[in-house]
Amino acid sequence: MAGIAAAAAGASKARRCHASNPTKQRKVAVALQARGGDDNTRVCIPLEELRNTDVDKVGGKSASLGEMISQLSDVGVPVPGGFSTTAYAYKEFLDKGGINDFINEKLSDETIYTDVNKLMEVGKAVRDKIMDTPFQPNFEEELKAQWLRVSGGDEKFTFAVRSSATAEDLPDASFAGQQETYLNVMGYEDMKQKVHLVFASLFTDRAISYRHDRGFEHEKVQLCATCQKMVRSETGAAGVMFSLDTESGFDKVVFVTSAYGLGETVVGGTVNPDEWYVFKPTLAEGKNAIIARTMGSKLIKMVYKAGGGSETVDTSSDERGKWSASDEEVTALAEMAVKIEKHYGRPMDIEWARDGDDGKLYIVQARPETVASQKKVGVIEEYKMLEKSSDVIAEGRAVGKRIGSGKVNILTSIDQMAQFSEGEVLVADMTDPDWEPIMKKAGAIITNRGGRTCHAAIIARELGIPAIVGCGDATDKLAKGDEVTVSCAEGDTGFIYKGIMKFERNVQELGELPTVGMKIMMNVGNPETAFTFGQLPNEGIGLARLEFVINNAIGVHPKALLNYDTIDADTKALIDARMAGYGSPKEFYTQKIVEGVATLAASVYPKRIIVRLSDFKSNEYKSLIGGDQYEPDEENPMIGFRGCGRYTDPFFEECFAMELEAIKKVRGEMGMTNVEIMIPFVRTLDMAKDVMEVLEKNGLKRGQDGLKVNMMAELPSNVFLAEEFLEYFDGFSIGSNDLTQLTLGLDRDSGLVAQYFDERNPAVMKGLEILIKAAKSKGKYVGICGQGPSDHPDLAKWLMEQGIDSVSLNPDSVIPTWQFLGKKD
């Protein structure tokens, strides 16, 4: 403390000396007048004295840190202290030795913005000029005083030195990574050098290019250095979080990423991090609000190097198979993100770190999110593949929702920049902000490494270019000149297809939708697309198929998981690879269903979501890992051992219990009481009675805690005994696909009779009419979730006229059908 106090006194004394020299004051005044006037001549300011209104003095990063230290530390947002150099100091430095004139002359040549070789040459010349010019004495004096104040004179005290630009991190511009960051900076001389390097980094090739493309005048952007106490995350973990979903712009979640070691690996995209989504409404209620998690490979981590600086090392196999942050830490981080977002009044991009020494979490940066939050309201852009292909060359994490195609160009170094042509598909091990001049020319971007919050992903989003990151082996599987299609339009997973495939782009201006005489819901089964579809006008999800979650997120037969200890070694190895990060096979199965259902429920919360419990046929169950050991060979699985018949059978009892445990957790522990359940393929009234007993036995009693249990009305027996079935259920959700098939006696999987399949057949429509009237007479819910209304708007109109409560449509049919139904005759 004595050292800090002495340093502070020294700093104050230095300021008094400057103020007491009238000659110097007059010179400063003249200089300031020439620059347009500024009454603040301080060259360094402690972070705790700064507020967000000081961006013009210390840049966005320093101002934001000061704002959080002064305004949010008392409400549980801890931010490490430090100090910032000022824009005044930077301008004064550039005035020395004619640096300004030199820069203006070099950057006035417009050809450097189209010739990457010239850009590299000019950038280097400017940076060398800056580094060859010494700091002004008064700046060095104050820099050392602030170093002493924060470090107490300890030469081993570590700082992070980062850039803070006066035009950086504005709500409509992301300068993420445009300038340099230096970690584990020890001692005053090291700090002085890193501050010098930060000043020079305003003129990296990428920063020059970026400012020019975004219309920022070079001379109007000043660079400051944020010198902050280093969080010892090299023995802990760090990452990035956003207070909204970066891909869809869905703003009811916090998206958290994490990896071991210093956070630069996550920011820079050199590691594939762990990811979580936390749901804000239930977080505010104190519920378990983590609705989804994805384990990253985390192959490397960045650690301190002896004597200063940092290096990357391989992680251990044990680290790779574990989550780098606990659920409690993820929840605490999400709470901090919500507080920061509320304070700033806009979605935020936040960097955090966990100190390996004290185990505490710290916020080390926060800036406005600049892409997803800027999307035009009331306009829906959708890309869709028009061709199906099984020829997937590679896959990774999708960035954005677009599709691109072109010829592959694999680059191994930024030095190959001049070899890249407009419209090519950029393939690299990883990119960093230095690659921005190439990235803006690419038709699509593919990298081996990186997560959805790395610099490459942020820049790709801002440029509107489809990118797939974290592929692992794209540079091995692709070759220069290959024609590929890069699809980010199929959920969180991005696919690289062989060849140039057809796709379409649709843009819909929503405008004001007409009032219609029933509720329009959606059929959504894929949690990866839920946040996008949830922003369509809707009254909830009328059909969420659990099979989609089981098939894609789990991929293992539930019996194989229950019998894990006795299954063969090969099957066990396949299961082990899928359930990394989960405590047991049973927990893996249950928790993955929890995450899938919770994500779907969050996308429309608090509107209702009707989850159809598993309705795999035996042949579909057989295709899951281990399934061939448990499933029968049936002649016609479509009308075989499926739906409610499984739920009440002793063979499947324990498997069904895991599904119900998941639903119980989503509704109870997670507080998502908008989840209702639907029972499919209920052949008889005895089955209806038996399944209700099974539900109650597993803690899901109809009516308890508002639980609604619906029946999928899809069999002729459901039509003939409609009123009797309604004694057991809260309503019908009509499955028009199976109802049509079984009413007309045809196999909808057979191409030989496909021409007879039509939900508008009079016999089918008679069945629909009976079901609607029965539900209405009992005062119970009736909706339809089959394909028919999505394909035939006239059928949807007829159903509305019959008084049906809702139709559940495929998302791409929602707007056209809504507009059709609202037309005046």
Q: Where are the beta strands (DSSP E) in 623-683?
A: 675-679
Query: Cβ neighbours of residue 611 under 8 Å, at least 6 residues apart?
Result: 544, 546, 597, 600, 663, 675, 676, 677, 678
E strands along 191-269, which residues? 223-229, 237-242, 253-260
Say if residue 733 is exposed, middle or buried (CB neighbours under 10 Å; 0-12, 13-18, 19+). buried
Element of type H or E holding 124: helix 116-132
User: What is the rounded distance in angstroms from the CA atom of residue 823 to the CA atom of residue 236?
Assistant: 60
Beta-ladder partners of 509 = 379
Q: What's the angle, vertex CA 674, arms to CA 672 and CA 678, rounded to 5?
A: 115
Instruction: Answer yes or no: 455 catalytic.
Output: yes
What's the CA gap between 255 and 401, in Å, rounded? 17
Structure-token match 């762990």, residue found: 274
**Helix 116-132, helix 205-214: angle, nearest 10:** 110
Element (H, E) at 126: helix 116-132
Q: Specify the 3-state DSSP secondary structure of 428.
A: strand
Residues 631, 562 contacting (CB under 8 angstroms):
no
Q: Helix, strand, or coil here: 566?
A: helix
DSSP one-letter code for 553: I
CA dihedral angle for residue 762, residue 768, residue 774, residue 778, rounded to 10 degrees = -150
Phi-psi group of 37: left, alpha or beta (phi > 0 → left; psi -120 to 50 → alpha; rest → beta): left
Alpha helices in 480-638 (DSSP H): 527-533, 546-549, 558-562, 569-578, 585-604, 618-622
Contacts of 491 (CB under 8 A, 6+ apart): 398, 526, 528, 529
Answer whether the bond into residue 793 is a cis peptide, omega within 30°: no
Q: Count of alpha carbons within 13 Å of 644, Cβ hemisphere only?
A: 25
How many Å apart are CA 253 and CA 603, to the nearest integer? Answer: 9
Helix (H, G, I), strand (E, B) or coil at 629: helix
Give the pair of three-digit tokens for residue 269.
């995209």
**Annotated catalytic residue 454:** no
CA distance 430 to 460: 13
Q: 3-class DSSP state for residue 297?
A: coil
Q: Which helix (H) or strand (E) holds 438?
A: helix 436-439
Q: What is the DSSP letter of 728?
A: T
Residue 669 CA, chain-centre distance (Å), reads 24
Q: Which helix (H) or strand (E) holds 282?
A: helix 280-284
**Partners of 782 in the β-ladder:** 732
Distance CA 191, CA 81 (A): 16
Residue tagged active-site, from 224, 227, 454, 455: 455
Q: For the chain, percent helix, then strand, then coil, each to nearest 5?
A: 45, 20, 35
Angle at 376 between CA 56 and CA 470, to 5 degrees: 80
Q: Measured in whole angstroms, how far is the alpha carbon of residue 381 from the centre of its chain? A: 18
Pairing of strands 444-447, 467-469: parallel
Hey, is 693 helix, strand or coil? helix
CB 178 within 8 A of CB 407: no
Q: How far, in Å, CA of 175 to CA of 167, rounded?
A: 8
Residues taking part in catalysis: 455, 785
